[in-house]
Chains A and B, each alone.
Chain A
């Protein structure tokens, strides 16, 4: 296990990282120790420096490579996540193959997690020793260059997805925009007004929808879902199920006679949030893009009983096709943007708020539809009976948010949404409005001003999280009303506020199937279900998987401006990739040694990236280097030991362990250290 024939010349570089490392670890001692004790391993120089990642730090390394003829470099600094690329490039600049450089972490794995300075210093020595033993077995590698397909897949046709698709399409590249519902538009299409300017949601959204629908570079795939994704950055292959609309789009004019004549009424739980009806053949809303309806086969009388066909009888272009099958498309794309949005928190879960039990308790989406002039009440704010205007309305903030019993996070949009509701209620009905809040959070442009406007309008603000809403009336003034029970925490008064209508400003949740989505695209989501970005501050739209980006609420709750910004940002990242035309892939990957392969095919099924193919003729398996991500699963799984991973060979791992245990350091010196 010891050394190769020819001795390597290794340089060790220990970083202070200001006081991040040097505050806990005695860097000078570590550096001296390495120079003295790792000599037998081939260490010819060991240096420490304040900021190894600075230009001057990098130049130190480059100078040594040139002057001392270093053949290997070990940098002891931060996590490879941050600066592996920096130091590899520095080596490359000095003519050393970048993969002969090893970055070991004495910050994240040592100084940041320990307080005992002596022990931390000893640990740093062991970590460096491991890196030195390992780097001997590194091989010079060349990255693999693959071309980038110019097309992009955008999943989710809400405002974030539409924005991303338009930006890329306008730049001249093809986009496939996939949407599960019959129309693009997402939640924004359901809203009435948008805060804080109160401009009409449809008025600002529909032009973008029309643009997306007409754009020559956008292929709109509505009523469709992505079922499978293969490949890697630059060349993904997505399998998309285009569900049967049960009509021939080419012939349909969207005239609307079919849904007018359809005799079957269905409660619309999606677009109308259960507040209104649609037909079994329908477009979700008048401005839908595309204009073609779909037949909801679960509810259509023809599919249930075999008769009816009213739509077919009346269709002037004869485009109804009851026998139409789902279509399976495969598209090739270079990059993917996920913008699948959010679900509304199910307010039934907070039983003490009475939604579903007490008729005049409404959810925020229900109120949006009620307030919308194209909605089920024609824009009238009325009680569940459909006619009575409320005289007193209570708006409950933080429903399902900021609560460990439901979701711990703040949904960020509900304060502004509640303020908007308060304004609309007052404007439309003149009712007294009470906002029950814990904290008012209005941190974006124009938001605080909107709050002030509401204060001036005379909306009541009561600081207290609502304990319960009930019909348990005690006083004559409460008769027939809902009683909102709350502590006014600013005065310490226990209040019972009788209202006619309560609106639950429900929080945002990840899509119910967000975990499946993450799995499908090979990315990760947090415990609460939001997809995880590559870096929370510096890279909020990329994911840990190259070529897959996230935009809008799929990453976390956010309002319309932020969603639009993320859609555009993701598009910019994708266009940058496309312009590069090709991409260098990490050469860290697995190789199967044909002579040792028994052809058992165990690795074929283990590979999560479908990168291993089996040659029937020779009865051996082979790794496709472009698909391999270097995860090492097959290496560990091969019963014959026929697979090695570059960068993670058995020799490299075992020698690193020996190094960590200081087995390679002469005993006397190890003890003395």
Chain B
């Protein structure tokens, strides 16, 4: 079976809440792309990504920045006339590309996501200053300065935590995660 599974089936298998292969029902109407607030920044519009998946163009899909630009706003999803959950598809593509360690160069998304996950595994809660180190150095000087200015002002207003928050039953929590994914992979 694994030899004959198509790229479309692989991706459909990653859509937890869906049954069958919903992408096959796409009528290429473009409602998703017309709705998407970020479509203008994407290499391929969401509609084109679905067409590429259905064509089995795995390389072209993985080279596209489309799913890393998805803002998770679900606007496409509520309007899709075929009730395809396009936002979940974008999540699935992110997972797939991280899993295969294949993504377009120069994207912040993948490294940021991994840093975020590691952080939660460590403390159970989010801690912004640590997170910032995962992306801040890939910014250009102007962006860097602006980001630091923003952070400083937040700090002055008392809106940035100085110490990371941790949950109480952290040991249980980490063992719980260990039952889902091997901890070595993230640490």
Residues on A lying within 8 angstroms of B by beta carbon are: 352, 398, 402-405, 438-439, 463-468, 485-489, 492, 494-495
Contacts and interface: CB of A to CB of B under 8 A. Distances in A.
B15 to A, nearest CB: 17
Interface stretch (B31-39, B103-111, B151-159): B31-39
19 contacts: A404-B82, A404-B83, A405-B81, A405-B83, A438-B27, A438-B29, A439-B27, A464-B30, A465-B31, A466-B31, A467-B31, A468-B34, A487-B30, A489-B29, A489-B33, A492-B44, A492-B45, A494-B34, A494-B39
B34 A465 contact: yes
Nearest to A464: B30
Q: 9 smallest A-B Cβ distances: which pairs?
A: A467-B34, A403-B81, A487-B30, A465-B29, A487-B33, A464-B30, A467-B35, A489-B30, A487-B34
Contacts of B83: 404-405
A318 to B, nearest CB: 58
Contacts of A405: 79, 81, 83
| A contact face: mostly helix, strand, loop, or mixed | loop
Contacts of B31: 465-467
B47 interface: yes
Contacts of B35: 467-468, 485
Interface string B59-101: 0000000000000000000010111000000000000000000
B110 to A, nearest CB: 25
A499 to B, nearest CB: 15
B48 interface: yes
A486 B30 contact: yes
Contacts of B45: 487, 492, 494
Given A398-B29, A405-B83, A489-B47, 12 more contacts: A402-B81, A404-B81, A405-B79, A438-B29, A465-B81, A467-B34, A485-B35, A486-B34, A487-B34, A487-B39, A489-B28, A494-B40
A398 B40 CA distance: 25
Contacts of A464: 29-30, 33-34
Nearest to B31: A465
B39 to A, nearest CB: 5
A438 B30 CA distance: 8
Contacts of A489: 28-30, 33, 47
B33 to A, nearest CB: 4
A279 B83 CA distance: 45
B81 A466 contact: no
A487 B29 CA distance: 8
Interface in B4-44: 27-31, 33-35, 39-40, 44
**Interface residue range, chain B:** 10 to 19
A363 B35 CA distance: 22
Nearest to B25: A404
A352 B27 contact: no
B26 to A, nearest CB: 11
Interface string B103-145: 0000000000000000000000000000000000000000000
Contacts of B79: 352, 405, 467
A488 B47 CA distance: 11
A488 B45 CA distance: 11
Contacts of B28: 489
Contacts of A492: 33, 44-45, 48
Contacts of B33: 464, 467, 487, 489, 492, 494
Contacts of B27: 402, 438-439
Contacts of B40: 494
A487 B34 CA distance: 5
A642 B83 CA distance: 53
A439 B29 CA distance: 8
Interface centre among B28, B33, B35, B82 (most CB of A within 10 A): B33
Nearest to A462: B30
A511 B47 CA distance: 35
A464 B29 CA distance: 5
B79 to A, nearest CB: 7
A357 B40 CA distance: 28
A487 B40 CA distance: 10
A352 B34 CA distance: 12
A404 B44 CA distance: 25
A494 B45 CA distance: 9
Contact of A487 (B47, B81, B82): B47
Contacts of A495: 34
A485 B34 contact: yes
Contacts of A352: 79
A414 to B, nearest CB: 14
Contacts of A487: 30, 33-34, 39, 45, 47
Nearest to B79: A467
A349 B141 CA distance: 49
Interface centre among B29, B31, B40, B45 (most CB of A within 10 A): B29
Interface in B162-184: none
A402 B35 CA distance: 18
B31 to A, nearest CB: 5
A466 B31 CA distance: 6
B42 to A, nearest CB: 9
Contacts of A467: 30-31, 33-35, 79
Nearest to B82: A404
Interface centre among A466, A492, A495 (most CB of B within 10 A): A492
A403 B33 CA distance: 16
A292 to B, nearest CB: 46
A438 B82 CA distance: 13
A464 B31 CA distance: 7
Contacts of A402: 27, 29, 81
Contacts of B29: 398, 402, 438, 464-465, 489
Nearest to B44: A492
A466 to B, nearest CB: 7
Contacts of B48: 492
A486 B30 CA distance: 7
A465 B82 contact: no
B86 to A, nearest CB: 13
A492 B44 CA distance: 8
Nearest to A404: B83
A399 to B, nearest CB: 11
Contacts of B44: 492
A494 B34 CA distance: 6
A358 B142 CA distance: 42
Nearest to B39: A494
A489 B51 CA distance: 11
A410 B86 CA distance: 23
A472 to B, nearest CB: 12
A534 B63 CA distance: 53
A322 to B, nearest CB: 51
Nearest to A408: B81
Contacts of A465: 29-31, 34, 81
A465 B26 CA distance: 13
B61 to A, nearest CB: 15
